[in-house]
Structure 1
């Protein structure tokens, strides 16, 4: 039995030296020292030994077990060091390599303009509401007192989906929805995308953005409208800005007006940019809500009156950020957007 135990020791020590991974090492431990291992099988035969041989063989077997376990532990430590070394080499950070540049995003100039406009009106007591971009002809034209022969209804001006459904040409249908669903007093603004066949120059696009406002209450007058627009312009461009109201025509307001603002460059003194007039381009349209529109929405025009206004957000952004082509706002060119 001594020879058999020594043979097991030599075999185990020889195999341990050839191992290269932890899995094989564990398999070897089970092979020689496990419950069904080679050394365990030999020790089960000790019952056949004499009383004198038993302690000698037992001591010898325990020493062999300790020697094998010691070698296994030493090998386990060696393998761990090798694994750690390979891992460090693989995951080593080269601090001499230049770091990665992370580009931080920011608000698009159009989004910034919309948020600024909405915040101004919210501070003036207006609520912000939104409506669908796909609208009915009824809300987009009929309820707004638009004549049946009005050019804006033509296929050459408006994107129709069906005879009764279209892409809204302005955000005014939101006003109609609000007046139909709510009772006065009303004070709202609504911003969003609108669509028209319009691509004649650098300041027009088939898709653009509008913001429209509506106030309906008892005893609302043109004076309230002018004061609201004046406050808005000063909040947007500065206290030294002036406004000029010119008579105009819109089917949904009566009387109607277009609003000019003083030149942003010379503040009304006259310069080359404004051709010496002191005035910038027309900025928005407005007027008192036509009584027919109020009546179409179920509001008594004898009791209530109101005013409405609408402006092009893209135009505001172009003036504010000195952009000369509206297409730059939609092309997503990073060379352009990074300037803001």
Structure 2
């Protein structure tokens, strides 16, 4: 068999070759492109070819050599890609059903805050916010808390220290979100219909029923001819939406420096439906808020004519409502970040 015929035979073999393993790749290399392979043997036979044919035969051998090397590189790349794919695991199967991602947990205080906002927004209230570091005027004085007034003792306050270490009596962490009410009235014009959810701070010992950081939501409605009946109807609608359609409310006379008259708001216990249980201390009622008509002096302090405008205000603790709504007995659970507690509210 001549060299030309042998070259054509090898080219046909190489073009038809298929490899599926590293052993077959090594066998391909040894057969065709190694030092003892078929291509090398043909090059050694080139010197036996007549001089006038040697150039043409040499070109055919170079074509064979280039084909063998390119096929070897191609097979090598294919096997490496297959090995990498196998190491990476199975490919993406678009026919498989979607694996659902687990939902996170929404904090119960966030759930109740959102629900409160939703209820009052439907009644036409907007949401207002204000600073947590406040001055004495907006937190106390504008709300009828004069210096040395006994009502100031009801709230243990965190006062801000100066850089020298001295206590700065006129700057403090707000003890209620009523500071937002005074800012609204002082810097705006009636009518006002707003709620003010937010954090408040009081210097209290932490226990199952008290904390130094907690959340309140307060409401304010100031307009012409606002009456106590408007206050009662508003809170009655809120109680039915938050605690159920069978809920009832009652108002007990109370005292707050910034409202007159003032009342504590109780709602029928939604656990025992008013029959009496441990949660309501067998009274059938649980307290949810304090409220009252805005004191005319507070309106005047904020630049509003009490002869022309009246209004009501109310305030409630978000933690308290959350504890009642979900049957939580320890206030500290809200801030301990125990995932066993938070997971109870997954997907809520």
Q: TM-score category by the smaller chain?
A: 0.7 to 0.9
TM-score of the two chains, using structure 1 as the length reference: 0.78
Q: 5+ unaligned residues in a row in structure 2: which ranges?
A: 1-24, 26-32, 34-49, 92-98, 161-167
Which protein has greater RCO, CA pairs closer than 8 Å, 6+ apart?
2
User: How many Å separate the matches in 1 of 2:80 and 2:277?
Assistant: 77
Secondary structure of the corresponding residue to residue 314 of structure 1? helix
For residues 256-283 of structure 1, give each alpha carbon's deviation from its aligned partner in whole angstroms, at most 9, with x where no partner exists: 1111111222222334543442222x21
User: How many Å separate the matches in 2 of 1:155 and 1:172?
Assistant: 15
What is residue 10 of structure 1 aligned with on the other side?
A: none
What is residue 229 of structure 1 aligned with on the other side?
A: 235
Which one of 48, 68, 72 corresponds to residue 69 of structure 2? Answer: 72
For residues 117-168 of structure 1, give each alpha carbon's deviation from its aligned partner in whole angstroms, at most 9, with x where no partner exists: 0000000111111112111111111111112113565698111113222111
Q: Judge conservation of contact 1:203–1:315 (CA < 8 Å) in 2.
A: no
User: How many Å separate the matches in 2 of 1:85 and 1:217?
Assistant: 77
Which one of 299, 320, 330 corresponds to residue 325 of structure 1? Answer: 330
What is residue 37 of structure 1 aligned with on the other side?
A: none
What is residue 88 of structure 1 aligned with on the other side?
A: 85
For residues 146-203 of structure 1, give each alpha carbon's deviation from its aligned partner in whole angstroms, at most 9, with x where no partner exists: 1211356569811111322211100001111111222111100010100001236411
Q: Judge conservation of contact 2:294–2:313 (CA < 8 Å) in 1.
A: yes
Q: 1:246 to 1:140 in 2, by over 3 A?
A: same
1:67 shift after superposition: 1.7
TM-score of the two chains, using structure 2 as the length reference: 0.76
Q: Does residue 307 in structure 1 map to residue 306 in structure 2?
A: no
Q: Judge conservation of contact 2:136–2:170 (CA < 8 Å) in 1.
A: yes
Which one of 237, 244, 258 corresponds to residue 252 of structure 1? Answer: 258
What is residue 202 of structure 2 aligned with on the other side?
A: 196
Q: 1:205 to 1:77 in 2, by over 3 A?
A: same
What is residue 219 of structure 1 aligned with on the other side?
A: 225
Q: Does residue 132 in structure 1 map to residue 131 in structure 2?
A: yes
Question: Which moves more between the two structures, 104-113 or 265-274?
Answer: 265-274
What is residue 22 of structure 2 aligned with on the other side?
A: none
Q: Judge conservation of contact 2:276–2:283 (CA < 8 Å) in 1.
A: yes
Alignment of 1:39-188 (within 5 A): 56-93=53-90, 103-150=102-149, 153=152, 157-161=156-160, 162-188=168-194
For residues 209-260 of structure 1, give each alpha carbon's deviation from its aligned partner in whole angstroms, at most 9, with x where no partner exists: 0000000000111111111111111111112111111111111111111111
For residues 78-111 of structure 1, give each alpha carbon's deviation from its aligned partner in whole angstroms, at most 9, with x where no partner exists: 21233123213321349xxxxx996420311000
Secondary structure of the corresponding residue to residue 159 of structure 2? coil
User: How many Å separate the matches in 1 of 2:86 and 2:220?
Assistant: 69
Q: Does residue 290 in structure 1 map to residue 295 in structure 2?
A: yes
For residues 23-51 of structure 1, give each alpha carbon's deviation from its aligned partner in whole angstroms, at most 9, with x where no partner exists: xxxxx9xxxxxxxxxxxxxxxxxxxxxxx
User: How many Å separate the matches in 2 of 1:336 and 1:176?
Assistant: 37
Q: How many residues align?
A: 285
4+ residue stretches of structure 1 with deviation over 4 A? 100-103, 151-156
Q: 5+ unaligned residues in a row in structure 1: which ranges?
A: 1-19, 21-27, 29-51, 95-99
For residues 264-316 of structure 1, give each alpha carbon's deviation from its aligned partner in whole angstroms, at most 9, with x where no partner exists: 22222334543442222x21000111111111111111100100000000000
Q: Judge conservation of contact 2:207–2:332 (CA < 8 Å) in 1.
A: no
